[in-house]
Structure 1
Amino acid sequence: MTGHPPLRSDAVGLGLRRALLDPLRTASADAFDFLECAPENWIGVGGLLGEALETLSARHPLTCHGLSLSLGGCAPLDETFLGRVRRFLDRHRVPLYSEHLSYCSDDGQLYDLLPIPFTDEAVHHVAARIRQTQDILGRRIAVENVSYYAAPHQGMDEAAFINAVLDEADCDLLLDVNNIYVNAINHRYDASAFLAAMPGERIACLHVAGHFDEADDLKVDTHGAAVKDAVWSLLGEACRRFGPRPTLLERDFNFPPFAELLGELDTVRGILATNRDVRPRHAHA
């Protein structure tokens, strides 16, 4: 089964959450351009929930953002699970599958996204696992820069590590703008310089989300609040540098009235439209 065409560069999307099924199904056709789900939460689901997923994926492109592949882990990749993911992606004609540049398992699931050491050894390890994943799935994937609160070892900075993994794995990047902001505050680096170091030609999608202000120097990536003004500004900066890219609004809990989420999507649309004629600059330009 063939997939949906690639997403338009000005496409705006929402996370497909079960709490939002009713408003998503009754929303006007132009309220959003695509939906994103974690395949782990939907593979094998039948009944009314399965029917709702089928209805929505027939109406809108469905992208997938995985939670449990553990690309940075040491246990062998779960090839049986990846086979199930491939069938899910094919069935729903998914134009983009992404995973986190982190690990989440040891002897079993750790139920958290944990940071990978920024070392040459880790680059080779993760890149090999990404290539294996792409071979099994029969498609390129994108990996996401993650928020992290402790750095186990840093032989290079985060931007250099991401670039090295992308180059060696030959995969794409899902650039999470909120994670850049959160990490820049927590680890005291310059968010604009980080953006400038990203390889624009590999950016397949952007994410924005809300976070919690624990303190002036500590932000927590929660996906449970409205997007902050500083993150909107950083999204605008990303689009001025790289041009518009498909952009997803993540919200996982504390759901406001659906109209408020649509209002945030309108903000995304405005930022993408403002930068629709931007000529992308190369990294470090």
Structure 2
Amino acid sequence: MTKLDVLPDRAGVGLKGEHYADIVGTWPDLGFFEVHAENYMGDGGPPHRYLETIAAHYPLSFHGVGLSIGGDGPIDQDHIGRLKTLIDRYRPASFSEHLAWSTHDSAYLNDLLPLPYTEQTLARVCEHVDEVQNALGRRMLLENPSTYVLFSESTIEETEFLTRIADRTGCGLLLDVNNVMVSTVNHRLDPYAYIERFALDLVGEIHMAGYDETVDGAGDRLLIDAHGSAVRPDVFELFVFALNKAGPRPVLVEWDNNVPGFAELHAEARRVEAVIARSRGSRPVAAQ
């Protein structure tokens, strides 16, 4: 099985249609671009012409949202087929998906929903990961989720659940630091303790994003994984903590809603890039 997670240990950003003109011809200094695979499953047109041009200059990270790895039902074979065609065409450096479910029967839900962490669920997720990796002929990365509820039937802690999936299937992990902050604040847990328990040696990519904040019915903080703003200071500090422990990794700045001009997005990536560069030394780095 081909190992995909060979992105450079640099900062990257998501590829957005509104930024094509800012990228092509100027070729900004970036480590990679992330592509949401489902946006490019058509056969041709302008999106593919731009992607082909950009792929000739930058490594690509493909990120899926539609496989429903945690779903009860079987993986959609048509979806896997479209994904394989896309990956074979562009040969991305990395492919990742979510530890979540997003389908019911033939319906696709506009959300990435949590699942109970039980032995039964573990076996099903491992079966799905094996199926996807075998179909693609590639190793994939599995991302920790952002969650708003916990299941009373869960018997396995989330970081252990992810580690056991990786051990059984050979997949890698994607550490989404914003998801860690969202979930731990919502569930009154310690985000730094979560990072301490995470299998950082298996991390092939790190994600960063901005969250929205409101309050729940009890008046407590409730964070929403919104991807509509700059990275929050507490997430950035947690990222620095994780990078000090893990060492340099490819890091994506996610900004999928209320997308700013490319200059602002690129500035966020440069801020992350500076931390990655400092982490290559032997001394711990601090957030700035």
TM-score (norm 1): 0.92
Change (3 A) 1:126 1:4: closer
Moved more, 227-236 or 38-47: 38-47
Counterparts of 1:1-285 in structure 2, within 5 Å, are: 6-9=6-9, 11-30=10-29, 32-107=30-105, 108-152=107-151, 153-215=153-215, 217-278=221-282
Look up the equivalent residue of 1:273 and give its one-letter code.
A
Look up the equivalent residue of 2:115 and give its one-letter code.
I
C-alpha distance in 1 between matches for 2:117 and 2:12:
31
Change (3 A) 1:174 1:5: closer
Shift of 1:4: 8.7
Shift of 1:55: 1.0
Look up the equivalent residue of 2:190 and give its one-letter code.
D
Look up the equivalent residue of 1:235 and give its one-letter code.
F
C-alpha distance in 1 between matches for 2:4 and 2:241:
29
Moved more, 79-88 or 119-128: 79-88
Per-residue Cα deviation, 1:157-184 (whole angstroms, up to 9, x for no partner) = 2222222222222210010000001111
Per-residue Cα deviation, 1:173-218 (whole angstroms, up to 9, x for no partner) = 0100000011110011111111111112210000000110113621
Check conservation: 1:3, 1:94, Cα contact below 8 A. no
C-alpha distance in 2 between matches for 1:70 and 1:278:
40
Task: Extract unaligned runs of 5+ from structure 2.
Answer: none
Moved more, 59-68 or 215-224: 215-224
Check conservation: 2:5, 2:94, Cα contact below 8 A. no
Shift of 1:116: 1.1
Shift of 1:45: 4.6
C-alpha distance in 2 between matches for 1:150 and 1:5:
31
| 4+ residue segments displaced more than 4 Å | 2-5
Per-residue Cα deviation, 1:42-81 (whole angstroms, up to 9, x for no partner) = 0125222221111111221111000100001122112232
CA RMSD of aligned residues (A): 2.0
Change (3 A) 1:4 1:125: closer
Look up the equivalent residue of 2:178 and give its one-letter code.
N
Check conservation: 1:3, 1:93, Cα contact below 8 A. no
Shift of 1:85: 1.2
How high is the sequence identity, in percent, across the aligned residues?
A: 37
Look up the equivalent residue of 2:149 and give its one-letter code.
A
Shift of 1:25: 2.3
1:283 equivalent in structure 2: none
C-alpha distance in 2 between matches for 1:228 and 1:26:
31
SS at match of 1:111: strand
Check conservation: 1:98, 1:143, Cα contact below 8 A. yes
C-alpha distance in 2 between matches for 1:21 and 1:117:
40
Task: Extract unaligned runs of 5+ from structure 1.
Answer: 281-285
Shift of 1:120: 1.2
Shift of 1:123: 0.8
